[in-house]
Each structure stands twice: as structure tokens, then as C-alpha cells.
Structure 1
Amino acid sequence: MKKYDRITPEGTRDLLFRECEAQRKITETLRSTFEGKGYHEVITPGIEFYDVFSSNSRYFPQDSIYKLIDHKGRLLAMRPDSTIPIARMTATKLKGHALPIRLFYGQRVYRQQPELRGRSSEIMQMGIELVGLSSYESDIEILTTGMEALSSCCVDDYRIELGHIGIYKLLMENLKATPEQKETIHSLIVSKNYAGLSDILEDFPENRTGELLKELPKLFGGKEALEKARGLFDGYDGELLDMLSYLERIFQGLMERNLDKVMIDFGLVHQADYYSSLIFKGYISSVGEPVLSGGRYDELFKDFGESLPATGFGINVDQLASGLLKEGNTSERSDGAPQSENIRIALTKGRLENSIVGMFEEIGYDCTNLKEKGRKLLLSIPDKNMDVVLAKAADVITYVEHGVCDVGVVGKDTIVESGGTFYEVLDLGFGKCKFALAVPKGSDFYSGYSTKRIATKYPKVASSYFESKGMDVEVIKIEGSVELAPLLSLADGIVDIVETGTTLKENGLEVIEEIRNVSARLIVNIASMKLKKTEIEALISDIQEKIRG
């Protein structure tokens, strides 16, 4: 029997020397900051009953929680979040305590992560919870404490983005959509997928609610985003304008306190069921994802039999420590490439690379280095202060997701199959093809009682497609020419990318179902969109003008 006694489980790692020192300094600094603001430390169990996280609000997906069974057969969960257990503890152990209650914590949370994505399953979090106040002053207190916390950890280049989940919730209540449509719309707004959002909202013609939802992910920036929103929302709903006014008041309040590293994002709609009004995230330049996340959650305590307003935030100490260690090494980035303030764009090698380089040339970019690249994989567009990375499609997503590249060009097929956390901002209009189900010509795929076998390079796409049809199939992953599988009687059909269909015909196959269209997309790292907004928007604008002709 193989023993796993010399390695750590996926998503976990040992911390040594400088990493331990960095974490200790951050936790000590944050502890001092929180205690100085009058917050008191609490610790909740690392293992809770699963019921704590399984309320109707569905804050955390079932597949993200590590589960155990105790000696009585009861289902347990390793703590995936700190706020929910603190709400449980406050509603029970601190019931009747004088309000407000100011609490802080420093403890690990555990979340299942997608395989081989380089994300931690064990995360050190520190944060605060302010329970029993629902005032403007309490929201300002939480935000200023969060900004002070980042500053106290020697973070200079940070941004806090503000949103109001109530605006999104009100619009979604007014949209006559099915739960499935609403779930899709939510994910499209989160990813700033302008094209996909526009497509699905076409099902709601002449609907002002749909038009406003289309604009939400585009409304981000400074004071100008608030002004644009006021123009768009005017005359729609008084409650919506009240929410906007409150967001403006918060923004102005921070500015008056000389806390100007703040921006607005109306597309900030994370965990819509969890939060009730003001929400926010924090970014630093050396980490490609948020290091701070929080907001107001006035409805959460109802899950534990209480009705208490509350707000708070959590800081990912691991990410913050990692980012500060990177910043400490000024000569080299974590990816081994020279430190650069340029926009870094990852291109999918091959046809998509040729298409985008051709587009850049037509726009007027100097692409000499790209056309005479030889075997180089890291090049530059000197007249635009842009570095270019050439990579395989799946790697483009990885580089953008982790923040070592700010922008990427990749096919929608890879996005659908690989997933990831980034903004999908443009359909580039080239690299067009489609996912399709193909079977041997003349065969009746849907007849009989046996479970069908499907060969594919895209098992996630294939599985999701047949699940949507309520059909049980056996999916076999193929790396090479998938058309061979039916010829060798390995599979009854294939799910693959189809452009002209010539290869299918030559191998005796025919398309019986078209699954979805795909094309090349422009994706952007979440933190880069906030910290390099001007440069990235200039690139997007250049491409949009070319697409529009």
C-alpha cells in the first residue's frame, strides 16, 4: 500500500522561515490594530456541525466544504468561513449582551479548491465583526479600520472598492426571470462578461431593468461612476436612488478623511445571499485576487434565531504575506521575469495569436517583435508599454488568474472547460467555432437503454451538457484525435469543437446537436482591472473600436 507520509495534501503546504516571519508580523500588526479600535478576540471551533453552514441562504456550496462524520453519525464541517460561526456564537453565548459587540478573530478556514489550480485549501484569516449597529458611522468605522489594517501592514499601493448589493437585488427582483436565468446573470455580472450578459438579457426586450443590469458591470471607477449611475437610475425607482445616495455618502465620507484609495464598482455582487447592503473588497498590486473582503450582513443572524444588524471584513493573511514578500524582492517578480510596470498580456499560441497580432497591427501597434519572435516566449510592444507572453490556452487562464499577466486572449472553449476567476470583458469576434455532439452517420444515438459513452477533450462541457438534458452518460477523456473513438467502438459519440465539419465527414461522423458557439475572448485579472484601470481600459477601447469597424 502506498504511503503518503512525506508530502502534504493538495491545497496545503509547509511554511518556513521568512514566510512564518511575514505571517507573524502581519498577525501581530493586525491584532494591535483591532485591539486599538476596541475589538475583542474570539476563537470558534475548527470543526462545526454542517447545519451551521447549510441554511436556506446557501452561503457556501456543498462541494467546497470538507465534511466529517462524528461517532453519532452526525455530519460535521471543517470551518469554511469565520463570520457564520461567530454569528452562531454571538446568538447563543452572547445573547442579551450589551450592544454593540466588537469582535475580532485570527483563525484558519478550510475550503475545497479545484484540482491543480494553485489555490490554498487552508487559509489564515483575520478580521472583525461589528454586531448591533446599522448606522452610517458603523459602516465608516469598518471601512476605515480595513484601510488602516492594510496600511499598518506596510501596504502602500492598495485599493478598496465599494458596492451596494441592494441595487443588484432590487433589479433582480424586478426582472421576470427564472431562478436558472438569475443564477446565470449573477455569474455574468461577477465576471464582467459584457457580451454574455447582453445576450441573455435579450430575452427581456424593452425592459429597462434588463438595460440597467447590462450596465452594472461597466459602472466602476471613481466619482464619475457614481455620476453615470445617477443618470442611468434617474426615474427608475426611488429606493434604488436612495441606495445610490448612501453609496455616494460613504464614498464622500472616506474622501473627507483623506482616504482616497477607494473606487466604486456596481458589478461587485459577490455572495448575493450573504450580504444585505454595503459590500467592499481590497486589493494590493502584488496579488492577483482580493486580500480583503467584507460588507453588511443584516439578515444572517436570523438563521440563528436573532435579528441583529452586523458588518465586518476578513483579510487573507496568507495572500497578504505572500504579496509583501514579493514586493520585498524588487529585482524579480514571482514568475522569474524582470519587474515591470507594463501591461502584460498572455496570448494563446497559434491561430488566436496570429489573429490578435494582426488586429494590433491594424490598430497601429508596433508588432515587429511579435512577428520576428523566433523561439522567444516573452516579448514587448514598445510603443504601448506592453509585454506579451505566448502560452498554451489553459496556461493563459492560469497566468491571468494568478495575476502574473494582467490580460489574456483565449478561446471561450478553454474558459468553459477550465473555469477560473477573472473578468471576461470582450468577445473578440474571431476564432469562431462551436461545441457539437457528433455520432457515426446513420446511427440512432438516443435509442436503446444502455448508458452511452462520450469521448471528448472537454469532459466538463460534455458532462454539463448531458446533465442539462437529464441524460446519464459515461464520459471518456481523449487527448488526441477524438474522432477515432467511435471508429474504434470506444464511444457512441463525441463532443468536440467543430469549425467546418470536414474532419467529421471524412471519418463518417455527423453533427446531431449543436451545444454552443465559441470564439476568442479578452480576459482581465480582477486586481489588475482595479489597479491598472486606465491602461487596461485604453487597450479595451482600442480593440472595441477595431471590432466595431
Structure 2
Amino acid sequence: MKRYSKITPEGTRDFLFEESEQKIRVENAITSVFEAHAYKKVITPTIEFFDVFDSDNTGILPEDMYKLSDSRGRLTVLRPDNTAPIARMVATRLGKNDFPVRLYYNQNVFVRNKSLSGRMNEISQCGIELIGEGGSESDMEVLALAAETMHACSPEAFRIELGHAGFFNAVLDRMQLDVHTREDICRLIESKNYAALGDLLDRLPDSSEKELLQKLPRLFGGREVFATARSLYRGTAALACLDALERLYDELLQKGLQDVVSIDLGLVNRSNYYTGVIFRGYAVGTGHTVLSGGRYDNLLGTFGCDAPAIGFGVDVTAMCTALCEKINIDRPVRIALTKGRLEKSSVSLFKTMGLDTGELENKGRRLILPVDRYEAVLAKAPDVITYVEHGVCDIGIVGKDTIAEHASAFFEVLDLGIGKCRFALACPKGTDFFSGYKRKVIASKYPKVASTYFESVGMDVDIIKIEGSVELAPLLGLADGIVDIVETGSTLKENGLEIVREIMPISARVIVNMASMKLRKAEIEEFLQDLACASQVTE
């Protein structure tokens, strides 16, 4: 029998009986909504040419695609996205006399996710595209349809957040930044990494744009967000986008959606792809986005047909997960703590916050414990990230070293300033690491951190992962140097090693699940504010 003949590839799965029936029910519920609003079904090939997606306007990284070649050696891919193929089809098969055209799809996409992440690489999607019609009326049509679609799926609770790519881009355009700085700002705002964003912006000249960007990750909530944004910034182009977004928000409230719609001006994902309103949907029961979409007026132009367009897609697989979970929506906010020194430091911070830590300090062998009105979960550092990413914990306290090596989809919201140390490159004392032509060998417990650093300096190295005392590798002649965490440097000195480059500082960080931040905003913000105050007291 062949080795892999009885299993499915990572990121794929079989659906049997009740699971397949539920998947069909969800798909039917969604497509019934689409058809009721006169959207027509289309089907595109599972295999497309790579060129369809090889553009900044698609926002898809080449390394995330499953690549193949056809009989003539041309590069093809398994469809990683549904919007670009539909844009190709409309641009080449329809004419502007056919516009506006309302289309829907129900087909799979294929995306390479990080190994062992628990995420699906084959994803069932249902979605719509409204092509050939711009303006607020089409925005409103699609947003209302997104809310109706979420309601039709009947999750325990859901929320749709709105942002505007034009607002963010108008601010950055005034700053005349290089491409890399612009991308870094976008990434840090999107992940709500307040500390790193502040460090980056500190290197830029003072301006009203800089002041706004520093506060942009926190500009999410209800109507108050608009007033706060206007008090911070008066740029004409940005305010025009803000006005347009507020009008859409008001119309949605008039439709009775005030309990499920919110604003997030820090919603800047794929800002080079989206051109107007952006939106996401979250459902209780899954830590991931279940719906995403926005206006993308530049995409069809890459296929030779300039036309406005807006649409969204529903991750059917994630929606089914949300519906299957038995969720207690009234459970306490759950905080994952890294066992060991960070656990003890967290207990001290909780005491400063006035929380009852008696159970946590007398835990015995228990791993889940009450901490006043919260619930603490004790886990190893990499598992803290996993639990938060998947939404079984709302908040995590973990070292930046673990985040750098295992980073995934969550918000990094606070630098606690405890557990301080640094990543460094070290080699045997008296050797010149950067001399000669020989390709260097690096030993590290953190191969991703090491690889990222050497890529940033344009140096080819071989990296060997070591699980134990990494200092042994150069002493035994296995490696020319090491990348490791350094606190005092005494261990390096005792083993004849010295630091030749400091790579990045490390401290304890607070991470938050993306869905929890939106669905439990008030509770989580209260905890974060109290924790931030406590961390300042203990410094």
C-alpha cells in the first residue's frame, strides 16, 4: 500500500453525512439570498494562468499559490481567489453595454497556509460581484446584502465592520513615503501593533498625518469614531472618504443594523487592491474572518476594461465551524498566559490591577483558573499564539521572540515592557564573521528569525535548527555563528562567544484575537487599559 493512499493532503478534508449536509444548507442559504436580489451564477476554471493573479491589484502573494504547468510549460495555478477570474471573464466575455452586471459564485479556492496552523488550504467560498456600477448606491446594495447573508446563516452573533481604503491612502499620499515604509505602516496598523507602529513613526518628521496614524489602530467602534478622526485630521481628500463612509454607516443604521455594524478606520488590508469601502464579517464561534469584501475599481483595468466594481466573499468552511461550535457567549474573557516567568510577572500585574489572583497562585495542576471576572489559561508560549489565533482564548501574554518566530493572524496591542532581552548574532570571539567567501552556517532555535534577518541584509546562509544549548554548535564546529536570545550575555562569554550584531529587542506583548476584539470590544478594551496602567506602575 502506498504511504499516503489513506490520508488527505494537509489543509484539505473529507465531508461526511451531517457535515456535508450542513455545508450544503449554508451554501443554499447564501445563494438563495443572492438569487433573490437578481444575481446570476457564474463558474470559472479551477486552473488559471498565473498571470491572472500576478499583479499588485490582486493582493495575493505568489508563494501562497499552488503552482502547476500546462502541456506547453506555461505557469498555471489552482484558483487562489474568485474575484480576479471573474474580472478576467467579464473583461473578455462581456461588454460595457452589459453593465451593470450582478454575478455570484459558489466554488473553492486554494491557498497555501502555514503548515500545522489548523487552517484549510482548500476553502469553499460563496460571494457576489457587482461590476460596472460605482457610487454610494451600489456600495449600500452590497453592504446590505452582506448583512442579510450573515443573518441568513444564523450564527449566534455576528458583526460587520467598515473601513475605507481611500481614507488611509489619502493620508499616506501626503507623507511621500518610500514603498517599504508605506507597507510597514500598513502592516502595523492592520495588526494593531501599537508599540512597533509608534517606534516606526518616531523616525518620521512631525505632521498631522503622523499624529493621525499613531492613533489610527484605535479608531474603531461606533459613530464616535468619525468625530475623533475629524478632530485629528483635516486633509480634504481623507475627509471626503470619511464623509462617504459616514453616509453609508447612517444608511445601514436606518435599516436597523445598529447592533451588527461598526467602524474600523484601521481596516487597511490590501490597501493597494481596494479603492473605497472595505468590510469584514465576524461570527461568534470562530476566531477568523468569515466574510470580507470591498470596492476594487482598478482590478478590471488590468484586464483591459476599466470599470468600477464591488463585492464580497463568504468563507463557507469557517461559517460552518462557527455554526458547529457550542458557544457560551456569556463566558468570561479568556486570557492565555505563558507558563513560567511571564506567568509570575502577569500575576504581579493582575494584583496591581486589583484582580483576585488567589486561584492562580494556588493552581496545583489546574490549567484553567478564574481570575476575578476573567479566566486564565496556562500554556507554553507557542500554544498561547495558537489558542488566541483560533479564538478559544481572547487575549494572550507572550514574548516577542515567540511572536517573531510563530507570527500569525492576531492583533499585537501592547508592549508590557517586562521580560526584556534581545535577539543577537554571536560567533566565536576573535573571528570575523563577515569576512571571506565561504557560505556561513548559522545555528538557532529560531530559524524564521534568523532567516528574516539575513534576508534583510542580503546575505546567503545555511540555517540549522537546534533545540537545546545553541552555544554548542560553533564550539563543535557545526556552525560559524548563532542567532539566539541574549539577556546579560554571560552565557556567551563563558562559552567563548561574542555578539557581532544585535537583531531586535524582545519584551512581553499582549495579543488579541481579531474576532474577539470586535465582538467583545468593551470588555477587552477595559482589560487592556487597566493592564497598561498596571505595567506603567510596575516599571
Same fold (TM over 0.5): yes
Corresponding residue to 2:416 among 382, 404, 428:
428
Deviations 1:298-331 (A, max 9, x none): 11110010111110100000000111011xx36x
State the secondary structure of the residue aligned to 1:162.
strand
Matched, 1:488 2:486: no
Deviations 1:231-287 (A, max 9, x none): 112xx3112111111111011100011111100000101111111010000001111
Corresponding residue to 2:242 among 229, 241, 244:
244
Contact 1:22 1:325 in 2 (8 A): no
The residue type paired with residue 8 of structure 1 is T
Count of aligned positions: 536
The corresponding residue for 2:117 is: 117
Contact 2:220 2:266 in 1 (8 A): yes
Matched, 1:144 2:132: no
Moved more, 198-207 or 494-503: 198-207
Partners of 2:187 and 2:3 in 1: CA distance: 41
Contact 1:413 1:518 in 2 (8 A): yes
State the secondary structure of the residue aligned to 2:355.
coil
The corresponding residue for 1:472 is: 460
State the secondary structure of the residue aligned to 1:127.
strand
The corresponding residue for 2:530 is: 542
Partners of 2:441 and 2:130 in 1: CA distance: 54
The corresponding residue for 1:256 is: 254
Task: Assess, with a 3 A threshold, how the Cα gap between structure 1 residues 102 and 109 changes in structure 2: closer, same or farther.
Answer: same
The corresponding residue for 1:91 is: 91
Matched, 1:46 2:46: yes
The corresponding residue for 1:303 is: 302
Partners of 2:195 and 2:175 in 1: CA distance: 19
Partners of 2:443 and 2:137 in 1: CA distance: 59
Quote how far apart the aligned CAs of 1:547 are: 2.6
State the secondary structure of the residue aligned to 1:365.
coil
Contact 2:360 2:370 in 1 (8 A): yes
Partners of 2:177 and 2:55 in 1: CA distance: 24
Quote how far apart the aligned CAs of 1:174 are: 1.6
Partners of 1:243 and 1:508 in 2: CA distance: 59
Quote how far apart the aligned CAs of 1:156 are: 4.6
Quote how far apart the aligned CAs of 1:97 are: 4.0
The corresponding residue for 2:487 is: 499
Task: Assess, with a 3 A threshold, how the Cα gap between structure 1 residues 102 and 232 changes in structure 2: closer, same or farther.
Answer: same
The residue type paired with residue 345 of structure 1 is I
Task: Assess, with a 3 A threshold, how the Cα gap between structure 1 residues 56 and 157 changes in structure 2: closer, same or farther.
Answer: closer
The corresponding residue for 1:210 is: 210
Deviations 1:36-83 (A, max 9, x none): 001000010000011100124352101001110000111101100001
Matched, 1:396 2:384: yes
The corresponding residue for 1:378 is: 368
State the secondary structure of the residue aligned to 1:324.
helix
After TM superposition, list the pairs within 5 Å mapping 1:36-75 onto structure 2. Answer: 36-57=36-57, 59-75=59-75
Partners of 1:371 and 1:251 in 2: CA distance: 47
Quote how far apart the aligned CAs of 1:366 are: 0.2
Partners of 2:436 and 2:526 in 1: CA distance: 56
Structure 1 gap segments, 5+ residues each: 334-338
The corresponding residue for 1:519 is: 507
Matched, 1:387 2:375: yes
After TM superposition, list the pairs within 5 Å mapping 1:155-234 onto structure 2. Answer: 155-233=155-233
Contact 1:221 1:264 in 2 (8 A): yes
The residue type paired with residue 502 of structure 2 is E
Partners of 2:201 and 2:378 in 1: CA distance: 35
The residue type paired with residue 63 of structure 2 is D
State the secondary structure of the residue aligned to 2:437.
coil
Partners of 1:213 and 1:362 in 2: CA distance: 31
Task: Assess, with a 3 A threshold, how the Cα gap between structure 1 residues 23 and 58 changes in structure 2: closer, same or farther.
Answer: closer
Task: Assess, with a 3 A threshold, how the Cα gap between structure 1 residues 274 and 104 changes in structure 2: closer, same or farther.
Answer: same
Partners of 2:262 and 2:145 in 1: CA distance: 17
Deviations 1:485-506 (A, max 9, x none): 1111111110000001111111
The corresponding residue for 1:411 is: 399
Quote how far apart the aligned CAs of 1:111 are: 0.3
Quote how far apart the aligned CAs of 1:180 are: 1.5
Partners of 1:491 and 1:264 in 2: CA distance: 51
The residue type paired with residue 377 of structure 1 is L
State the secondary structure of the residue aligned to 1:540.
helix
Partners of 2:98 and 2:74 in 1: CA distance: 34
The corresponding residue for 1:352 is: 342
The residue type paired with residue 360 of structure 2 is L
Quote how far apart the aligned CAs of 1:430 are: 0.0
Partners of 2:98 and 2:302 in 1: CA distance: 21
Contact 1:225 1:264 in 2 (8 A): yes
Contact 1:221 1:263 in 2 (8 A): yes
Contact 1:346 1:400 in 2 (8 A): yes
Structure 2 gap segments, 5+ residues each: none
Partners of 1:170 and 1:435 in 2: CA distance: 36
Contact 2:211 2:232 in 1 (8 A): no
Task: Assess, with a 3 A threshold, how the Cα gap between structure 1 residues 300 and 424 changes in structure 2: closer, same or farther.
Answer: same
Partners of 1:340 and 1:243 in 2: CA distance: 37
Contact 1:427 1:521 in 2 (8 A): yes
State the secondary structure of the residue aligned to 1:500.
coil
The corresponding residue for 1:278 is: 277
The corresponding residue for 2:318 is: 319
State the secondary structure of the residue aligned to 1:253.
helix
Corresponding residue to 2:332 among 342, 355, 359:
342
Partners of 1:398 and 1:499 in 2: CA distance: 26
Quote how far apart the aligned CAs of 1:441 are: 1.0
Identity %: 53
* Superposition TM-score, scaled by structure 2 size: 0.98
Task: Assess, with a 3 A threshold, how the Cα gap between structure 1 residues 283 and 46 changes in structure 2: closer, same or farther.
Answer: same
Contact 2:155 2:284 in 1 (8 A): no
